Amino acid sequence: MSVSSTKTTCPYCGVGCGVIVNMHENGRVEVLGDPDHPSNYGRLCSKGSALGETVYLAERLLYPEVDGEQVSWELAYSHIAAKFSEVIKQHGPDAVAFYVSGQLLTEDYYVANKLMKGFIGSANIDTNSRLCMSSAVAAYKRAFGEDVVPCNYDDLERAQLIVLAGSNAAWCHPVLYQRIAQSKESNPNVKIISIDPRRTQTSDISDLHLSIRPGTDAVLFNGLLLWLEAAGELDQRFVNASTEGVEQALESASLSSPDVQTVAETCGLSVDEVEQFYRLFARTERVVTVFSQGISQSSSGVDKINSIINCHLLTGRIGRKGMGPFSFTGQPNAMGGREVGGLANQLAAHMEIDNAEHREIVSAFWQTKTLASKAGLKAVDCFDAIESKKIKAIWIMATNPVVSMPDADRVKAALQNCEFVVVSDCVANTDTSRLADVCLPATTWGERDGTVTNSERRISRQRPFLSAPGLAKHDWQIITELAQAMGFEEAFRYRSAAEIFDEYARLTAYKKAPQRQLDLSGLCHMSLREYDDMPPLQWPVTDLANQQNNMPMYSDGLFSTENRRARFIAVTPQSPASSVSALYPFILNTGRVRDHWHTMTRTGMSPRLSAHRIEPFVEVHPDDAREFGLSDGKLAQISSETGTEIFVRIRVTQRQQRGSLFVPMHWNLQFSSQARVSSLIKTVVDPISGQPEFKHAVASIKSCDASWYGFIISRQKPVLKYSRYWARSRGKGFWRYEIAGKEKPADWATHAKTLLNVEPGEEWAEFYDKADGHYRAARFVGGHLDSVIFIDSSVLLPPRDWLISLFQKDGISTRERLSLLQGVPPADVEDVGRIICACFNVGEKTICHAVKNAGAKTAEAVGEICQAGTNCGSCRPEIAELIQQCGV
Ligand code: SF4
């Protein structure tokens, strides 16, 4: 059987793993890690490994639509061009906006930015990357004079100490976590410190976990700065030659963090914990401090990051291998967007919009007289301006702000009332596209052609291996053709992504200031073939023939500022904007789960990825659960200052700090009745970066008074009624619904048949105890199990795993039928339990069996017995946890 192979890049997180896609003749899509890609060397996490399951056309948007009617591209373009032009004519260019995405490729970003800033003449283009890494951008620019991540992934393997601040890399950047874990395994002297209010899977491999009081990170790092100076760890030569502002930074630090006692009290840690951290940092030369959304999604995220960078500048631990302050970016191309000016306050090629000389350079290069002259509106301000009707027309590309923006219900209302909304996306139905006047079908991973840049500045190719379905087009094509329809033909004549990349590369070299690091002059004028074959490369690229890999940035001690000195920033720590009160006694933290990505438009389609966490949940500490009457497995209603509430499943866990709640960010109206956690987040942002404070809202929680609970597993989607709560997940050939409600039908037997659309004469088995509210039924079609529905007055319903396994079988035996409505397998059939290893479908009961009965004491031993954890390795932290729990 013939196989065609394509090397491309994973479309999920900022790690940017290289993948090899093998297309088999029978249509099977096999996705493997690329052993030659320097970011992952063949590794993939569960999401990357399951990419093959997400490549199909169901749920795709395939044709342009205007007001819900399918139209030609020409008609869609002329409609959008007319509407945008009319708004601009009447209200000026600042009355329109683009809201773009870290999912776009660099070439898409480049032309979107060029159209808005260069030719429409407004800088109202911002990206959803604003929500995840804009504080890192601002902090790097303040310290180094340019948005330059100074580290490389191989620094993680060279470091003797890795400090992970606000980063659950095990779930959010799994392949980097694997590299860190592997490094520690091969060298026990490598130390890991995790700074996180929650005990996460990342904390589990740390030598020291600092369960810090939320929002106090800058106090901790200011204290470290003082300690390092007092301990004589200051690198005087480096500080004198390459930096400025150390005195002011130390002075500020001495005000907030005068001694360890004060730091410990403020941060909710013991003196011993703080001293252990400080001593380890002080005496270790090769230190990498990783920071992620736990630090940056804060109303003072920029300062927090600068307090970290200060410590590296003071010790001179930057610009050399195995050390530095390292931001892990969330999105696959957040970095590429930063390079080409995807943020409202930047120009392309790391030039600044408020710098007249930079504006002249870009205007000359683009040959435009209408370049925007001032910064545009950042994401939150942009949606505020839509609400107040200052912005009258918006084009949203490849993102879902009705789910992901803070105060998401307000964003939804603002878009509902907006004069003109265009959405381009690959998916037909998102919470945002439902509000659009025009929907444009875009290509997606597997069809797209272009480049992305990952967290270590590595540019990799995304190559197509499928043709565009229906009438879908690449984002750069859509933008280019719309620009032509608006009358900008001359500047938008691109015929390929390669031409756009070439123009971008030439712009990085055009009249370049010597101190600027972003330089792709070595990639200019490539042939189509050279662009196509371009290997993964880290910028700067000035001489392709002599390009070096994994070189530290600023190794000469010369930074990107005018005077080439790095700047210490005097940091005065700020408290989070909201404080707990009698009304809202909990701090609400949001984040990711292991197997889902953002708003689930892709991962929600994968049965494998949907098996790990099947519904939205809140994590709560056992003492809080007792005090507030919250029981594990029941439902909670969470409310916040935005006046909104959500409904989620309760998970009681010691991993959560007392007084704090954790809710994942992914679930939306397509997958759950009401669980968009962003609707609970107030629109508080960092004043410098504009990044919202997703990690610290305040909330109240109470048990939800459901009178019945249930679940449905069915090959068809049921028509739900009476379910105050529902969450659905996709299985292999079926949908699974968890449901609950207060109101109930007069008769479950009648209602269940309506709900599952049961026809007279269909094979239907049921059990009904009306007095106790127990109802169970199953439908069989052609000897196969087609649907089951279980309803109970309590939450104590049978486990679903064995029932789910019956949906994979060719037929149902008599013994299985007899057991089915009890919901328990026959005595000799194994129930694998909740799925832990998504790659090999291994459940927790199977893993516990390997530990208890076969004596497995390590993740490797478990893997040898039942394969769990032997493919992508994303579940290894949970296997380690189960070994502890089940060990005898
Ligand atoms: S770590 Fe996982 S999600 Fe991130 S790029 Fe690699 S395979 Fe994709």
Write out 113-124 in H/E/C secondary structure: HHHHHHHHCCCC
Query: What CA–CA distance (Å, rounded) separates 621 from 533?
Result: 52
Atom in ligand 1 nearest the alpha carbon of residue 874: 2
Atom in ligand 1 nearest the alpha carbon of residue 39: 6
**Tens-place pLDDT, residues 477-505:** 999 999 999 999 999 999 999 999 999 99
> What is the spatial order of strands in the sheet that 324-327 belongs to?
208-210, 191-195, 161-165, 287-291, 324-327
From the CB of 452, is ligand 1 less than 6 Å away? no
Query: What CA–CA distance (Å, rounded) separates 255 from 26?
Result: 68
For ligand 1, atom 2: residue with the closest CA: 45
Ligand 1 pocket test, pick from 47, 595, 600, 872 with the greatest ligand atom count within 8 Å of Cβ, gives 47
**Helical ranges in 129-268 per DSSP H:** 134-144, 154-158, 169-172, 174-186, 217-230, 236-242, 246-256, 260-267
Query: What CA–CA distance (Å, rounded) separates 599 from 619?
Result: 19
Q: Which residue has the tokens 């504080």?
A: 135
Q: What is the pLDDT of residue 57?
A: 67
Distance in Å, CA 451 to ligand 1 centroid: 16
From the CB of 335, is ligand 1 less than 6 Å away? no
CA distances from 390 to 25, 93, 98, 428, 508 (A): 53, 11, 14, 28, 34
CA angle 618, 622, 624 (to 5 degrees): 75
From the CB of 246, is ligand 1 less than 6 Å away? no
Distance in Å, CA 872 to ligand 1 centroid: 10
Ligand 1 pocket test, pick from 8, 9, 17 with the greatest ligand atom count within 8 Å of Cβ, gives 17
Q: Which is it for the CA torsion 69, 75, 80, 85, positive or negative?
A: negative
From the CB of 13, is ligand 1 less than 6 Å away? yes
Query: Which of the residues in the chain have pLDDT under 50?
Result: none
Query: What CA–CA distance (Å, rounded) separates 746 from 766?
Result: 17
Ligand 1 pocket test, pick from 44, 178, 445, 839 with the greatest ligand atom count within 8 Å of Cβ, gives 44
Distance in Å, CA 873 to ligand 1 centroid: 12
Q: Is 498:526 a contact under the CB 8 Å cutoff?
A: yes
For ligand 1, atom 7: residue with the closest CA: 48
From the CB of 50, is ligand 1 less than 6 Å away? no
Query: What CA–CA distance (Å, rounded) separates 771 from 758?
Result: 24
Q: Distance from CA of residue 817 to its chain's centroid? A: 42
Atom in ligand 1 nearest the alpha carbon of residue 12: 3
Distance in Å, CA 593 to ligand 1 centroid: 13
From the CB of 79, is ligand 1 less than 6 Å away? no
Q: Is 369:363 a contact under the CB 8 Å cutoff?
A: yes
From the CB of 688, is ligand 1 less than 6 Å away? no
Query: What CA–CA distance (Å, rounded) separates 497 from 52?
Result: 24
Distance in Å, CA 121 to ligand 1 centroid: 37
From the CB of 47, is ligand 1 less than 6 Å away? yes
Distance in Å, CA 21 to ligand 1 centroid: 14
Strands 287-291 and 161-165: parallel
CB atoms within 10 A of CB 84: 23
Q: Is 565:554 a contact under the CB 8 Å cutoff?
A: no
For residue 774, the surrounding DSSP H or E stretch is strand 774-781
From the CB of 728, is ligand 1 less than 6 Å away? no
From the CB of 12, is ligand 1 less than 6 Å away? yes
Strands 734-741 and 708-714: antiparallel
| Main-chain phi, psi angles of 651, to 5 degrees | -120, 115
Distance in Å, CA 204 to ligand 1 centroid: 21
Atom in ligand 1 nearest the alpha carbon of residue 40: 6
Q: Which DSSP state fits 434?
A: G
Distance in Å, CA 43 to ligand 1 centroid: 9
Q: Is 660:687 a contact under the CB 8 Å cutoff?
A: no
| Exposure letters 355-389 (e unless 16+ CB within 10 A, then b) | eeebbebbbebbebeebbeebbbbbbbbbbbbbee
Atom in ligand 1 nearest the alpha carbon of residue 44: 7
Strands 774-781 and 697-703: unpaired
CB atoms within 10 A of CB 281: 23
Atom in ligand 1 nearest the alpha carbon of residue 10: 8
CA distances from 180 to 32, 189, 287, 453 (A): 21, 13, 13, 21
Distance in Å, CA 664 to ligand 1 centroid: 18
From the CB of 45, is ligand 1 less than 6 Å away? yes
From the CB of 17, is ligand 1 less than 6 Å away? yes
Distance in Å, CA 886 to ligand 1 centroid: 30
Distance in Å, CA 254 to ligand 1 centroid: 41
CA angle 47, 613, 423 (to 5 degrees): 60
Cβ-proximal residues to 812 (8 Å cutoff; 6+ apart), any chain: 780, 783, 784, 785, 806, 820
Atom in ligand 1 nearest the alpha carbon of residue 597: 3
Query: What CA–CA distance (Å, rounded) separates 821 from 819?
Result: 6
From the CB of 16, is ligand 1 less than 6 Å away? yes
Query: What CA–CA distance (Å, rounded) separates 447 from 463?
Result: 7
Atom in ligand 1 nearest the alpha carbon of residue 46: 2
| Main-chain phi, psi angles of 86, to 5 degrees | -65, -45
From the CB of 740, is ligand 1 less than 6 Å away? no
From the CB of 371, is ligand 1 less than 6 Å away? no
Catalogue the E-assigned strands of 273-346: 287-291, 324-327
For residue 403, the surrounding DSSP H or E stretch is helix 401-404
* CA nearest to 132, candidates 641, 576, 689: 689
Q: Distance from CA of residue 324 to its chain's centroid? A: 23
Q: What is the pLDDT of residue 823?
A: 85
Helices 844-852 and 859-866: crossing angle, nearest 10°? 110
Q: What is the pLDDT of residue 888?
A: 56
Query: What CA–CA distance (Å, rounded) separates 884 from 164?
Result: 23
CA distances from 627 to 493, 579, 650, 658, 672 (A): 65, 20, 14, 11, 28
Q: What is the pLDDT of residue 548?
A: 87
From the CB of 19, is ligand 1 less than 6 Å away? no
* CA nearest to 314, candidates 387, 220, 232, 192: 232
Task: Give pTM, 2 decimals.
Answer: 0.94
For ligand 1, atom 6: residue with the closest CA: 17
Ligand 1 pocket test, pick from 8, 15, 598 with the greatest ligand atom count within 8 Å of Cβ, gives 15
Q: Is 547:469 a contact under the CB 8 Å cutoff?
A: no
Ligand 1 pocket test, pick from 12, 34, 46, 49 with the greatest ligand atom count within 8 Å of Cβ, gives 12
Q: Is 668:676 a contact under the CB 8 Å cutoff?
A: yes
Distance in Å, CA 329 to ligand 1 centroid: 12
Atom in ligand 1 nearest the alpha carbon of residue 454: 5
Amino acid identity, residue 470? G
* Average pLDDT over the chain, rounded to an integer: 95
From the CB of 175, is ligand 1 less than 6 Å away? yes
From the CB of 328, is ligand 1 less than 6 Å away? no
Query: What CA–CA distance (Å, rounded) separates 377 from 125?
Result: 7
Distance in Å, CA 493 to ligand 1 centroid: 34
DSSP string covering 782-849:
TTEEEEEEEEESSS-PPPSHHHHHHTTSSS--HHHHHHHTTTS--TTS----SEEETTTTEEHHHHHH
Distance in Å, CA 543 to ligand 1 centroid: 29
As given in the structure block, the two tokens for residue 146 are 């340019």
CA distances from 426 to 19, 399, 447, 471 (A): 21, 10, 11, 11
Instruction: Give the CA-trace dihedral at 25, 30, 36, 37, to 10 degrees.
Output: 130
Query: What CA–CA distance (Å, rounded) separates 20 from 59?
Result: 25
Distance in Å, CA 369 to ligand 1 centroid: 42
Atom in ligand 1 nearest the alpha carbon of residue 9: 5
Question: Terminus-to-terminus CA distance in the chain, angstroms?
Answer: 48
Ligand 1 pocket test, pick from 45, 51, 445, 602 with the greatest ligand atom count within 8 Å of Cβ, gives 45
**Tens-place pLDDT, residues 131-157:** 989 999 999 999 999 999 999 999 999
Q: Which residue has the tokens 């091969």?
A: 186
